């Protein structure tokens, strides 16, 4: 992960944690999706984003999200360095193996050397 990408990941996670503390579950989850896209090729950031998605799912009493994140957490631990579907936002509302378009602002951060 390059430095701008690392900083953007940290900022998205910090904002997601703040939204979580304020019980703004939808905003927290949207920020976690951004963090997931930025961090999915590194194990610790990838796992961190899924862990927080699980926490949001639990708070929303969203059984589908909780189940989805419980499956995605071990996959993130094992596969982050080998293969990830780039651009995938990480929520249980999308296939865990489906690549997705990357938002322009995130793509620019990820392409910076």
Q: What is the pLDDT of residue 24?
A: 98
Alpha-carbon distances, residue 65 vs 30, 73, 100 (angstroms):
14, 12, 19
Task: Determine contact, residues 1/66, Cβ cutoff 8 Å.
Answer: no
Query: pLDDT category, 82, cuts 50, 70, 90?
Result: confident
The C-alpha atoms of residue 38 and residue 110 are separated, in whole angstroms, by 7
Q: What is the mean pLDDT of the chain?
A: 95
Instruction: Give the residue, 51 or 110, on which the prediction is more confident.
Output: 51
For position 112, what pLDDT does the model report? 65
Reduced to 3 states, what is the DSSP secondary structure of residue 59? Answer: helix
pLDDT at 113: 52
């Amino acid at each position: 992960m390059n430095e701008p990408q690392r900083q953007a990941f940290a900022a998205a996670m910090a904002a997601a944690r703040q939204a979580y503390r304020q019980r703004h579950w939808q905003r927290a989850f949207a920020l976690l999706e951004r963090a997931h896209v930025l961090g999915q090729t590194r194990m610790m950031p990838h796992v961190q984003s899924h862990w927080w998605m699980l926490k949001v799912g639990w708070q929303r009493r969203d059984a589908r999200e909780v189940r989805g994140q419980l499956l995605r957490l071990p996959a993130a631990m094992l596969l982050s360095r080998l293969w990830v579907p780039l651009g995938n936002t990480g929520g249980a509302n999308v296939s865990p193996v489906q690549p997705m378009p990357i938002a322009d602002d995130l793509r620019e951060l990820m392409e910076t050397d």
